[in-house]
Homo-oligomer: A and B are copies of this chain.
């Protein structure tokens, strides 16, 4: 048992840190660190810089830009990215559809999509959830019916993140309504968002932002060749996709950056006749959260180290612990920022909306503007990507054997 990093691992960390701090524009990292809106252009700039350096898709197969890193290297890469407030490569591209195409797609699909996906030349969104199929994803009803060389797709997807930016959507569609189990009879289909019959309707989130959408399919005709892998095997690919790369889910680096920032801001904010950072109650709350985070960081490392001995693509149920605790800590940082800010958490800044045009810094201290929107918006963290209730069900079954 050796709980320290090897010299090679430490050198690798230095390399990553240097890359992120010099090659990703400071203004993008600063915006992300403050919780401000990061634009589509910023995300593209970031991912293309990473892709150029071979750092956007390290976990892909080597032939398509992967790096064959150890789990620890992948962890370090992610940790440095998060700690330095670098927006991650678009997960829909690099963690979701990319690996699925690389594993199950045809050679033509790989050629056509993988380089563009890695470079964010194509922006993907995910068509999984439906109004009646959230936690119970297998209950989905969007249908794809074969008609000669085409699929005809009808139905509705929801919670489609950043669909307003997307060029393509990867969809789970029901292709055999008569299958014995509802997990069967589902196919994984790639659809160009410019196809006639697709309507995107924005859903405004609590903070006033526009991140998610409903996507409607009305007699949408899709080339048959856009099917990935085999017909009716979509559920297997979706499981593969969801099991992929789960260790980043704790977002330890993100929380670390936020906690360090909270400590700095608490020096600026005053309570009574002294800075807030000298208030014992506040310090104790902050410190208690830091302790939880250090423990979680270690839990994450244990999961990362365990990856070595696990079959690829099979999710480690321990990662559900990372999701549970990681979401609690992230949400707690937003509560602490609300408390830190005090009365100036109240003003609503239109500038907090993506593409808004107000100046969010004009009311109260600059750092106050993002407090409430982040608090409201981040309630989603314990809901999406498998709600915390679902994570508990997974742990009860897979680890405790109930």
Which residues of the other chain, B, contact A281 by a CB distance below 8 angstroms?
Answer: 280-281, 284
Give the oligomeric copy count. 2
A residues 279-295 touching B (CB-CB < 8 Å): 280-281, 284
Give the distance in Å from the alpha carbon of A10 to the alpha carbon of B100 in the complex.
Answer: 76
Give the distance in Å from the alpha carbon of A352 to the alpha carbon of B280 in the complex.
Answer: 37
Give the distance in Å from the alpha carbon of A284 to the alpha carbon of B281 in the complex.
Answer: 9
Map CB proximity to B onto A257-286 as digits: 1 under 8 Å, 0 otherwise: 000000000000000000000001100100
Which residues of the other chain, B, contact A284 by a CB distance below 8 angstroms?
Answer: 281
Give the distance in Å from the alpha carbon of A284 to the alpha carbon of B280 in the complex.
Answer: 11
Q: Which residue of B lies closest to A280 (CB)?
A: B280
Q: How far is the CB of A279 from chain B (nearest CB, A)?
A: 9
Q: How far is the CB of A72 from chain B (nearest CB, A)?
A: 39
Give the distance in Å from the alpha carbon of A281 to the alpha carbon of B288 in the complex.
Answer: 13
Which residues of the other chain, B, contact A280 by a CB distance below 8 angstroms?
Answer: 280-281
Q: Which residue of B lies closest to A284 (CB)?
A: B281
Q: How far is the CB of A271 from chain B (nearest CB, A)?
A: 13
Give the distance in Å from the alpha carbon of A280 to the alpha carbon of B281 in the complex.
Answer: 8
Give the distance in Å from the alpha carbon of A284 to the alpha carbon of B285 in the complex.
Answer: 13
Give the distance in Å from the alpha carbon of A281 to the alpha carbon of B284 in the complex.
Answer: 9
A residues 295-342 touching B (CB-CB < 8 Å): none
Give the distance in Å from the alpha carbon of A281 to the alpha carbon of B281 in the complex.
Answer: 7
Task: Pick 4 A–B contacts, CB within 8 A, sort by A.
Answer: A280-B280, A280-B281, A281-B281, A281-B284
Interface residues of A (CB under 8 A from B): 280-281, 284
Please list the 4 inter-chain residue pairs (A to B) with the smallest Cβ-Cβ separation, ordered nearest first.
Answer: A280-B280, A281-B284, A280-B281, A281-B281
